[in-house]
Amino acid sequence: MTKQTTDTQLPSPAKGLFLGDLRFESMVPFPRVSNSERETLSLVIESIDRFMADKEEDFRAYDVKGEQPTEYLEQLKELGLFSLIIPEEFSGLGLSNSGYSRVLQQTSRYDASTSLTIGAHSSIGLKALLLFGTVEQKARYLPRLATGELIAAFCLTEAGAGSDAASVRTHAVKNADGTWTLNGEKIWITNGGTAGFFTVFAKTETAGGKMTGFIVERGWEGVSTGPKEDKMGIRASCTTTVRFDNVRVPADCVLGEEGKGFKVAMAVLNNGRTGLGGGCVGAMKRIIELSVQQASQRKQFGKSISEFQLIKDKIALMTTLCFASESVVSVVGHLIDSGSEDFSTEAAMSKVFVSEALWTVADEALQIAGGNGFMREYPYERVVRDCRINRIFEGTNEILRLFVGLSGVKEPGENLADVARSVKGIFNDPIKGFGVLSDYASKKVGQYTSLGRPRATGISSCLQSESSALEQGAVRLAQAVEVALKRYRKGIIEQQLVTKRLADVATDLFVGMCVLSRVSAIVAERGENGSADEIRIAKVFSNFSRVRVSNSLRGLAKNADESGLALADSVVASGGYRWDTL
Ligand SMILES: Cc1cc2nc3c(=O)[nH]c(=O)nc-3n(C[C@H](O)[C@H](O)[C@H](O)COP(=O)(O)OP(=O)(O)OC[C@H]3O[C@@H](n4cnc5c(N)ncnc54)[C@H](O)[C@@H]3O)c2cc1C
C-alpha cells in the first residue's frame, strides 16, 4: 500500500517519483528562511564578508603551505563559526539546517578549506552528540564545542573500511566496570590534528548490534594523531590519522544506543549533507562572478569573449546549475528543519547533484579563463582542486546513487508484490479480488489514462511546458522502475547500471521540482515580467534535464552494458590497456 500521510509527516517527494507521483506538498510554496533567522544570518554573513573578503593572499599561502595557522583558527572561533548549529541554551547560535547551510555558502565564496574546518566540526563532528547525545553529554561538551575550545572530528573511515563503513576494525570491548577499551586506527580524519572531541565508531559485540558510537577526548591516554596529509585540494584543512591504543572510554560516553553505531553514523551523514551542499553553492557563486569578469574583459577577434555563443552557453549553464543546486539544498534543509523523518533519499540526491554541478561549473570557469585558468596566479585551478573532494567524501557519489536507486525502488517493489497478491486474489475469487486491488494497482490503470497522470500542482502557469516535462518524466520513471523490477526482482541489487540510471532520472526530476517550485514563488511575487531571468533558468534547466533523463531512460532499454562489463573484466584481467598502433 502507498504510505499514508500524517499531518506532520509529508511523504518523501523523491521516493514518490519512483511511483510516478509528483509530491509538491513539502516544497510549494518554496520554503523560505524565517524572518527572525534571516536577521541573524545577515549579521553572520556581514561579519564573514568583513573578515574573509581581503584574505585572498592569506588563503593562497595557507593552500601552498598546507595548513591554517593557529591564529587564524582562533579568529574563526572568535567569529563564532564553531557555534553555528549548537542550540542557544548551550551558548550556540542555534541556526536551523537551512541557516547553517547558508553560512557555509558564504565562507565557501572565499575559501573551501575554511568551510571544511568549520563544516566537519558541525556537520559531522558534533552532529551525533546533537542528534543522539544525552542531556548530560550535551551539557558537558556543547558549550566548549560552541566556543571552539573543543574542535570536533568524525572518525569512521579506516584503511580497510571506506565505502564499506560497516566493516570497521577499530573495536571496543566492554570492561566489568562498564567502561570500554578502545583500539584501532582511523584515517583521513578532517580536523584530526586540531580536534579535542572525537566521535568514534568502533566494532562492539553487544546484544544490540555490531557497531557503537563513542565520544573520545584528545587528552585521554592512548589517543594520538598522525602528521597532516599532503592533499590535492582543501590543502589547508587538517586531515590526519587518529589512533587509539587501549583507550579507556567511560561508560557514559556511548553515543546513542549500544550496538546502533551504524545507524548513528548514517543519520549524521544524512543530516549533514546541506553543509556540503551550501559549501558547493557558495563556491559556484564566486566562480561565476570571476568567470563573468573574465569573459567581459578578455577580448579576442576584436570582441569580448562574452559575446560568443559558445561562452554564453557556458555562462547560462553555470548559472542554471548554481540556481538548481541552491534550490535543492534549500528544499532538503527545509525538509530536515520541518521535522521530516524521511529525507535521506532527497539528501543523497542533493549531494550527488550539487557536487557534480560544482565540478562542471569549476571546469567550465577554468575553460573560459583559457590559459590563465591553468596558472596558479589565478584562482581557478585552486577551485578545481578544492572542489574535487565533494564527489568522494561523506559517501561517494557511486554509493549514494546506489542508495537513491535502491531506496527508491523499495516501495514500488513492495507494491508489485502487493499487485501480484491482488491478481492472485482475482483468479481465486474475481469479485473479492477486485475489492482488494491495491492503491498501486488502481493507480497503474490511471497512469496510462489522463485521469491518473501526476500533476505539478502549485506551479506557475507560465511554466506549463516545464511542468508537463516533469509529469511525463515521473510517469516514464515509474514505468521504467516497474519494468526493471519485473525483470530483475530482488536481483536488482546486483544491477548497478540499472539502479544508477533510475537514480539519475529521479534526481534530475527531483531537482526539477525544486527549481519549478522556486521559480513559481518568484513569479507569484514579482509577476512574469519581473521574473524573466528565473523563467529562463527554468527553461534551461528543463531542457538540460530532459536530455539527461531521456538518455538514461533510453539506456535502460538499449545499451552496450554487457559488452562494457565483459570488456572491463578483460582489461582488469590483463592488467590494463593492451592496445597500440605500432
Ligand atoms: C580529504 C578527505 C577528508 C575526509 N574526511 C573524513 C572524515 O572527517 N571522517 C571520516 O570518517 N572519513 C573521512 N574521509 C574519508 C571518506 O569519507 C572516504 O574517502 C570515502 O568514504 C570513500 O572511501 P574510500 O576512499 O576508502 O574509497 P573506496 O570505498 O575504496 O572506493 C573507491 C571507489 O570504488 C567505488 N566503490 C566502492 N564500493 C563500491 C560499490 N559497492 N559499488 C560501486 N562502486 C563502489 C567508490 O565509489 C570509489 O569510486 C575523508 C577523505 C578525504 C579524502
Report yes or no on 564 lying in a domain. Answer: no
Please check whether residues 279 and 335 belong to one and the same domain. yes
CA of 188 to the centre of ligand 1 (A): 10
Choosing from 122, 163, 391 the residue with most ligand 1 atoms within 8 A of its CB, the one to mutate for a pocket test is 163
163 lines ligand 1 (CB under 6 A): yes
Please check whether residues 235 and 311 belong to one and the same domain. no
Interatomic CA distance for residues 16 and 510, integer angstroms = 10
CA of 166 to the centre of ligand 1 (A): 13
265 lines ligand 1 (CB under 6 A): no
Atom of ligand 1 nearest to the CA of 397: 47
Atom of ligand 1 nearest to the CA of 153: 8
180 lines ligand 1 (CB under 6 A): no
Report yes or no on 265 lying in a domain. Answer: no
What CATH number does the domain containing 522 carry?
1.20.140.10
Please check whether residues 60 and 159 belong to one and the same domain. no
Choosing from 156, 158, 188, 232 the residue with most ligand 1 atoms within 8 A of its CB, the one to mutate for a pocket test is 188
CA of 402 to the centre of ligand 1 (A): 14
| Residue range(s) defining the domain that contains residue 534 | 400-559
How many beta carbons lie within 10 A of that of residue 346, not counting itself? 28
Report yes or no on 566 lying in a domain. Answer: no
pLDDT per residue as tens, the chain (582 positions): 333 344 468 899 999 999 999 999 989 999 999 998 999 999 999 999 999 999 999 999 999 999 999 999 999 999 999 999 999 999 999 999 999 999 999 999 999 999 999 999 999 999 999 999 999 999 999 999 999 999 999 999 999 999 999 999 999 999 999 999 999 999 999 999 999 999 999 999 888 779 999 999 999 999 999 999 999 999 999 999 999 999 999 999 999 999 999 999 999 999 999 999 999 999 999 999 999 999 999 999 999 999 999 999 999 999 999 999 999 999 999 999 999 999 999 999 999 999 999 999 999 999 999 999 999 999 999 999 999 999 999 999 999 999 999 999 999 999 888 766 755 554 454 444 444 445 555 566 555 444 467 888 899 999 999 999 999 999 999 999 999 999 999 999 999 999 999 999 999 999 999 999 999 999 999 999 999 999 999 999 999 999 999 999 999 999 999 999 999 999 999 999 999 999
Residues annotated as catalytic are: 394
CA of 392 to the centre of ligand 1 (A): 6
Q: Which of 511, 492, 512 is nearest to 556 (CA)?
A: 492
Q: Which of 481, 538, 486, 536 is nearest to 506 (CA)?
A: 481
Please check whether residues 118 and 251 belong to one and the same domain. no
Number of folded domains in the chain? 4
Report yes or no on 572 lying in a domain. Answer: no
Residues contacting residue 532 through CB under 8 Å, at least 6 positions apart: none
Q: Tell which of 132, 147, 162 closes a domain.
A: 147
Question: Between helices 273-297 and 97-110, what is the axis angle to 10°?
Answer: 40
Question: Between helices 464-488 and 397-428, what is the axis angle to 10°?
Answer: 70
Interatomic CA distance for residues 575 and 328, integer angstroms = 41
Please check whether residues 365 and 507 belong to one and the same domain. no
Please check whether residues 143 and 156 belong to one and the same domain. no
Which stretches within 258-374 are classed as H helix? 261-271, 273-297, 309-337, 344-369, 371-374
392 lines ligand 1 (CB under 6 A): yes
CA of 230 to the centre of ligand 1 (A): 17
